[in-house]
Amino acid sequence: MNDAAPRAHKLDYPKFKYHFSEFIGIGNNGHLWVDGCDVYDLVRKYGSPLHVFSENQFRHNYRKFRDGFRAHYPNTQILFANKSNNGLAMRHIMNQEGAGGDCFGYNEMYIALMAGTDPRTLVLNGSNKEPEEIELAVANGVCINVDAMDELDMVHATAKRLGRAIDVGIRVKLELPALEKRFGRGVHSGAMSEIVWREKWGMPYEQAVEITKRVRSEMSNLLHLKELHFHLSRLDNQAKDFGVMAGEMAEWAAQLRDDTGWVAPYIDLGGGWTFGRKEKTGVQDGIDDESVSSYEEYGAAVAAAVIAECKKRNFPLPGLKIEPGRAISGKAGISVGRVGAIKDWSKKSYKWVNVDLSGNHVPWITIPHRYHIVPVNKADQKTVEKVFIVGPLCTHDVLGRDRDMPKLERGDYIALLDTGAYAESTSANFNAQFRPATVLVSGGEADVTTERERLSDVMGRFRVPPRLLAGSFAAR
Ligand SMILES: Cc1ncc(COP(=O)(O)O)c(C=O)c1O
C-alpha cells in the first residue's frame, strides 16, 4: 500500500568534482557522470542519441518530495504522475518506494497494472474517458476521478454490469479568486484563476454538488465517494500559489459537507510542483532557478492552508494525495547527443553545433523550455565561445541558443539535463527518426529499459493499398 514503509533500497551518494544533482555531476576525469557510470562510456556502448536515467536520483527525489510533505502533513500519499515517464522499469521503482500513481487513459493504467502497482494506490484522470478505460479501472479497483456528468452514469453502469463496487472522486474547477491577480508564467499565460476556468478539465461547484447528491442517493451501493481532485498545473513555481489552491480545496470540501452531508476523506491536489537549479531550467528561458520553492516549502504552504481552513470550517483533516511528475522524474534523466557538423559564420558571429539529438526526443524545447547543456567529455574544460546547439530535424530544431561551450568537435557528446520527465513520454518520429534507447543506471550498473527504435518500428505501420501498388508499378 501507499503508506507502507518503503523497502530499504540504500542510497549510496557519489562524490563528484561538481554536482548538478545528488547523482549527476562531473567526475575526476572531467566527464559527465550519472551515478557510478561515465556517460561517455555509456553513449559509446549503447549508441547515440541516448536517454540516461538515474535510478537513485529518482528514488532520492521521491523520498525528498514525500518527506517534504509528510513533515508538515503526515497523512500524505504520493501518486507519481506516470505520464511524466511511462517506463515500465520506472514504475517498478516507484512501486518499491511505496508510491501510488496518477494514470491518464487506458494505456497508462495498463502499464501501471502490468508493473504490479497496487490498483488501490492509483487514480484515473481524464476529461473524456472512454468506456474501455472505465471498464479497466472498475475491473481492477482503480479510483476514477469523474470529470463529466454523464461519465458518472457510465461508471455506475459499468460497476453494475461487472458487479464491482468502485471508489470515485470528483474533479473540480476551483474558482481561485485569490489568484485573479497572479499571472501564469511559461506555457500558460493570463491570470491563474482564468486559465483554470478556460481549461477543459474539472467541474464547477454546482455540478460537484449534483454528482455528490446523485452518488449518495442513487448509487451508494456501488460507488464510494473517495476524493475531491484538482490540478493547478505548472502555472508558477511558488509555494504560496499552491497553498492558495490547497486552502480552497479544503473550503470546497467543507462547503460540500454543508450542502450534501458528504465528508471528503481525501483531497487530491494533482501535479505541477517544480524544481529549480542554479544553472536554470524550465519554460521560456529557464524560469526555474534557485528561487523555486523547495519540496519542504510546498509541503509547509499546503499543510498550513489546509489545516487553517479545516479548523475554520470545523472540518476533519482529510488525507492528502499529491501527483508530482516532473518534480520526481525530471532531474533523474539526461539526454545525450553526438556532435556532427559544426558551422561557423564568423561574419555574424553565429556558430551552430549540430547533434543527432533532436526536438523529437526532447519535445518540450518547442514550448519553449530551457535545458542546461553539458559537454559530456569536456565537462570541466573552460568555455571559449557561445554556440547554438541544434538538432537534425528540418524544423529549426534549436536545443540551446547562445550556450557557453568549450571548443566542440565532431565526435564529442553533449547532454541536456533534466529530461527525465516528458522527454521519452512525449517523443515523436518526425522526419522518420528513430526514438532513442533509455539506459537505467544504478551505481555502476547500466541496463537498457527502452530499446532503440528500428526501421520496422517506424515503417511497420504503413500500408499501401493494392490499387496504388498497381498504379505505381504496372507501367514499368
Ligand atoms: C492530473 C494531473 N496530475 C499530475 C500531473 C503531473 O504534472 P507535473 O509533472 O507538472 O507534476 C499532470 C500533468 O499534466 C496532470 O494533468
The CATH number that applies at residue 400 is 2.40.37.10
**Nearest CA owner, ligand 1 atom 6:** 271
What burial letters (b/e) apply to 318-343, b meaning 16+ CB within 10 Å?
A: bbbbbbbbbbbbbbbbbbbbbbeeee
Q: Separation of 470 CA from ligand 1 center, angstroms?
A: 49
Task: Please give the radius of gyration of the chain, using alpha carbons only, rounded to the nearest integer.
Answer: 24
Torsion of CA 94, 96, 102, 107, to 10 degrees: 90
Identify whether residues 121 and 190 lie together within a single domain. yes
Examine the domain organization and report whether 324 and 398 are in the same domain: no
**Is 278 found in the same domain as 242?**
yes
Ligand 1 center to residue 231 CA distance, Å?
Answer: 7
Q: Which of 84, 144, 419 to mutate to test the pocket of ligand 1 (most atoms within 8 A of CB)?
A: 84
Using the 3D structure, point to which of 304, 330, 356 is the last residue of a domain.
330
Contacts for 27 with CB less than 8 Å, ≥ 6 apart: 16, 17, 33, 38
Average pLDDT on 82-104 reads 98
Please give the pLDDT value at position 129. 98
Final residue before a domain boundary, out of 301, 330, 359: 330
- Is residue 323 domain-shared with residue 355, that is, in the same domain? no
Residues 436 and 304 in one domain: no
Q: What whole-number percentage of the chain has pLDDT above 90?
A: 89
**Residue carrying C-alpha cell 551518494:** 13
* Nearest CA owner, ligand 1 atom 14: 233
The parent domain of residue 78 ranges over: 55-330
CB 22 within 8 A of CB 427: no
Residue 82 DSSP code? G
Q: In angstroms, rounded to a whole number, what is the distance separating the alpha carbons of residues 174 and 193?
A: 8
- Quick: pLDDT tens for 354-386: 999 999 999 999 989 999 999 999 999 999 999
Q: What is the pLDDT of residues 291-306, one digit of tens each?
A: 999 999 999 999 999 9
Last residue of a domain, one of 285, 305, 330: 330
Note the pLDDT of residue 1.
46
Question: Once rounded to an integer, what is the mean pLDDT over residues 122-128?
Answer: 97
Residue 390 CA to ligand 1 center (angstroms) comes to 29
Q: How much is the average pLDDT of 60-83?
A: 98
Where in 373-458 does DSSP place strands (E)?
373-375, 385-390, 398-405, 413-417, 437-442, 445-450
Considering the domain architecture, whether residues 140 and 152 belong to the same structural domain is answered as yes
Q: Output the CA 79–ligand 1 centroid distance in Å.
A: 10
Evaluated on CA atoms 400, 404, 405, 407, the torsion sign reads positive
Ligand 1 centroid to Cα of residue 323, in Å, is 6
Q: Whose CA is nearest to atom 5 of ligand 1?
A: 271
Please tell me the distance between residue 234's alpha carbon and the centre of ligand 1 in angstroms: 8
Q: Are 30 and 380 in contact (CB under 8 A)?
A: yes
Which residue(s) pair with 123 in the sheet?
Answer: 102, 143
Q: Are residues 275 and 411 in the same domain?
A: no
Mean residue pLDDT across the chain: 95
Out of 233, 283, 288, 418, mutate this one to test ligand 1's pocket (max ligand atoms within 8 Å of CB): namely 233
Cα first-last separation, the chain = 66
* Same domain assignment for residues 266 and 387: no
DSSP labels, 307-372: HHHHHHTT-PPPEEEE--SHHHHGGGEEEEEEEEEEEEEGGGTEEEEEES--TTTSGGGGS-EE--
Q: How many structural domains are present in the chain?
A: 2
50 and 129 share one domain: no
Same domain, 345 and 407: yes
Task: Look at residue 190 and tell me whether its pLDDT is greater than 90.
Answer: no
Position 210: which residue type?
A: E
Return d(Cα 4, Cα 8) in angstroms, integer. 12
Query: What kind and span of H or E run contains 50?
Result: strand 50-54
Ligand 1 pocket, CB under 6 A? 81, 83-84, 102, 125, 231, 234, 270-273, 323-327, 421
Which residue has cell 467543507? 254
Asked whether residue 109 carries a pLDDT value surpassing 90, the answer given is yes
Atom 10 of ligand 1, nearest CA residue: 272
In one letter, which amino acid is 22? Answer: E
Looking at the structure, do residues 391 and 326 belong to the same domain, yes or no? no
Angle at 37 between CA 48 and CA 373, to 5 degrees: 55
Q: How far is Cα 385 from Cα 284, in angstroms, rounded to an integer?
A: 23
**Cell of residue 403, nine digits:** 550556450
If you measure from the C-alpha of residue 362 to the centroid of ligand 1, how many angstroms do you get, rounded to a whole number? 18
Q: Which atom of ligand 1 is nearest to the CA of 329?
A: 9
pTM above threshold 0.75: yes
Q: Residue 176: phi, psi to the nearest 5?
A: 50, 50
- What CATH number has the domain bearing residue 163? 3.20.20.10
Confidence of residue 5 (pLDDT cuts 50, 70, 90): low
On whether both 118 and 29 belong to a single domain, the answer is: no
